[in-house]
Copies of this chain bind each other. A is one copy, B any other.
Amino acid sequence: MPAPASTVTAESVIRPDHAVVTLINTFTVEPADQQRLIEIWQRSTEETIRHLPGFVSANIHRSLDGSKVVNYAQWESRESFIAMLNDPDAAAWLRRLAEIGTPAPVLCEVVSVHRNSDVGR
């Protein structure tokens, strides 16, 4: 499956300014299901979730050992995240994801960002 168009040049920024809430959701999967979970998560994001109010970004990661898929997602507020959970289309996608793996969502705020000692910013 080709990458969704929005991934081609997209990037997300992590800053310690508390302007977003961050949902770090780690799904545990059978390695044979990792790629399928990724593709459904990409479709749910492109078709539904990124169009909802308050969505900022989703950043989908695969674990190198095959056993996890992690979405690092940013929302404008806790309220917009809760509203997504109650959106019928989004909820249907989340149920479909939960049929393939076991989610472990953590709702966070950024405390601090540390860069290597060779860069100025």
Contact = CB atoms under 8 A, between A and B. Distances in A.
A59 to B, nearest CB: 5
A41 to B, nearest CB: 9
Interface of A: 3-4, 6-7, 9-16, 21-22, 24, 26, 38, 42, 45-46, 50-51, 55-65, 68, 70, 72, 78, 104, 106-117, 121
Q: How many copies does the complex hold?
A: 2
Contacts of A60: 110-114
A60 B12 CA distance: 16
A107 B12 CA distance: 19
Closest 9 CB pairs of A and B: A61-B108, A10-B113, A7-B112, A12-B14, A58-B114, A45-B114, A11-B15, A60-B111, A14-B59
